[in-house]
Structure 1
Amino acid sequence: MTYTVNCSILLTELPLLERPAAAKAAGFDAVEFWWPFAESVPADRDVDAFIGAIRDAGVQLTGLNFNAGDMPAGDRGLVSWPARSAEFRDNIAVVAGIGRALGTKGFNALYGLRQDGVDTAEQDAVAIENLAAAAAGVAPIGGTVLLEPVSGAPAYPLKTAADALRVIDAVNAASGAENLKLLADFYHLAVNGDDVAAVIEAHAPSFGHIQIADDPGRGAPGTGGLPLEAWIARSRELGYGGPIGLEYKAPIDEAFTWLAGAEPSAATSTAATA
């Protein structure tokens, strides 16, 4: 099994720039991050420090989010937010630059919440334009823009795989982009009531990425009741070849203990691409 550790939700007891090395010390060769800066266009020194932390740790950055706003305050993306569209566009070049430096291929673009007082059709039109721009921005480095259904945010309009796939189809039709794919987070899909097994049967070969957490609690695999192992195995059988993103909540001293009961090579396996 190949895993990539999401260092924005795991290992959070450590300063952000120390987490890649901690993931390496735990036996992993790949990490992913939400947007690790406060601004869409951070200072060059901050970008260089982040790139340096990844390189110094000797891990591959398999995935990176575009700026999604103030996540702790409840923001869930800028893609469909007309008032911050220019900011999202500015962020694209920074994301692509980091991807070029580190060989990253997967870039998650959170759609954004419905905004009070803004027509939903306007938000969706802005989203199509911004996703097309993001796809064009990462295409020269072989990048893929990932679109993710999300749970726990009622105003976030993409809750099922079908919701995200409709947007991807609309972007493709409008722009001819061919590098947008579904991010199948099995936890979010399950919590939102989607039929995860059916989504896998229909779309696993074209998944852009898989992320996992158990339910209830968004904890480590085995702490809840989701059949994550079976879902991953079936996705593999159907052709998904990328890593599995570990995007769950767990204290640092318990973060990876569940792997002791997994396949023998799991904890030391690598993930080279998203």
Structure 2
Amino acid sequence: MSPTVPTLPYTVNCSLLFTELPLLQRPAAARAAGFDAVEFWWPFERAVPADSEVDAFTAAIAEAGVRLTGLNLFAGRLPGPDRGVLSHPARVQEVRDNLEVVVAIAERTGTTAFNALYGLRLEGVDAAEQDETALLNTVTAAKALAQVGGTVLIEPISGAEDYPLRTAADGAAFAARAHAAGAPNVALLADLYHLAVNGDDVAAVVAERAAEIGHIQIADAPGRGEPGTGDLPLLDLLATAQAGGYSGYVGLEYRPSGSSADSFAWLRA
């Protein structure tokens, strides 16, 4: 048992939880379950949705009485084969166009955390060119989002061998490159599930990097279910992160083993 129970606030990832409901009903469902904060992957099919789609999304957040604490930038087909477009040379304009929409949503909602998924390695495209594209896009995004107090988050993920950022060290190193290029508002997103599946020493990551982590997300491993369905000592890890200086939200980004509402029993316990 952890010597200190974490008191960090939770935010519900409504792209994995409450998926039994239409997307625009999920913020209200999270509120009914007792939460006052939600986060989403990019909630539209296109990088630049219609104004009416953006209006409906921001209205759903406001009407539910919750705060939008995090939003992915456009990531291509997700879930699906893209896993982000940050490093794709042929999609630079798409990233730029998406940023205009993201800034507008941030101005309406007060959101300040933005996950920019790197993207897979592309056949026939030099890896160094992809890395330079990712850096250029990240610096551009960071400068655009600085006007709304935003931070660009860089996330190592699992489940895709061609995704080049797999460990916390990978994500932190790329964030450091962005800092050196003039973008101080870039930080590591530590999804404890992805790090564990990729073989990272998660306890060491949260102990050594807590103060530099921009956002934490959790799911148990194996399985990506709610805490208690796998082997990760998630509450201990969160207590360590908090003791080390992390004070932000914890994103509940798991696939519930039953209904979404029932998957919060671990919190009540």
Question: What TM-score, normalized by structure 1, do the two folds share?
Answer: 0.93
The one-letter amino acid paired with 2:124 is: G
Q: Please list every run of 5 or more consecutive structure 2 residues that lacks an aligned counterpart in the other structure.
A: 1-6
Question: Does the residue aligned with 2:118 lie in a helix, a strand or coil?
Answer: coil
Which residue number in structure 1 is paired with residue 155 of structure 2? 148
Q: 2: CA distance between counterparts of 1:149 and 1:73? A: 16
| 8 Å contact from structure 2 (residues 153, 187) kept in 1 | yes
Please report how far the alpha carbon of residue 253 of structure 1 lies from its aligned counterpart in structure 2 after TM superposition: 4.3
Matched, 1:101 2:108: yes
Which residue number in structure 2 is paired with residue 245 of structure 1? 251
* CA distances 1:233-259 after superposition (whole Å, capped 9, x unpaired): 010011101011000001324221222
Q: 2: CA distance between counterparts of 1:222 and 1:233? A: 16
Question: Does the residue aligned with 1:255 lie in a helix, a strand or coil?
Answer: helix
| Partner of residue 60 from structure 2, selected from 53, 69, 84 | 53
Please report how far the alpha carbon of residue 132 of structure 1 lies from its aligned counterpart in structure 2 after TM superposition: 0.2
The one-letter amino acid paired with 1:137 is: A
The one-letter amino acid paired with 1:180 is: V
RMSD between aligned residues: 0.9
1:83-162 equivalent positions in 2, closer than 5 A? 83-162=90-169
| 8 Å contact from structure 2 (residues 138, 178) kept in 1 | yes
Matched, 1:38 2:42: no
Residues paired across the two proteins, number: 260
| Partner of residue 86 from structure 2, selected from 47, 71, 79 | 79
| 8 Å contact from structure 2 (residues 115, 152) kept in 1 | yes
| 8 Å contact from structure 1 (residues 10, 255) kept in 2 | no
The runs of 4+ residues in structure 1 deviating greater than 2 Å are: 251-255
Which residue number in structure 1 is paired with residue 263 of structure 2? 255
| 8 Å contact from structure 1 (residues 182, 206) kept in 2 | yes
Q: Percent identity?
A: 60
Matched, 1:217 2:249: no
Question: What TM-score, normalized by structure 2, do the two folds share?
Answer: 0.95
Q: 2: CA distance between counterparts of 1:238 and 1:249? A: 28
| 8 Å contact from structure 2 (residues 33, 261) kept in 1 | no
The one-letter amino acid paired with 2:13 is: N
Please report how far the alpha carbon of residue 172 of structure 1 lies from its aligned counterpart in structure 2 after TM superposition: 1.6
Q: Please list every run of 5 or more consecutive structure 1 residues that lacks an aligned counterpart in the other structure.
A: 262-274
Please report how far the alpha carbon of residue 194 of structure 1 lies from its aligned counterpart in structure 2 after TM superposition: 0.6
Matched, 1:196 2:202: yes
Please report how far the alpha carbon of residue 112 of structure 1 lies from its aligned counterpart in structure 2 after TM superposition: 0.4
Higher relative CO (CA 8 A, sep ≥ 6), structure 1 or 2? 1
Please report how far the alpha carbon of residue 72 of structure 1 lies from its aligned counterpart in structure 2 after TM superposition: 2.8
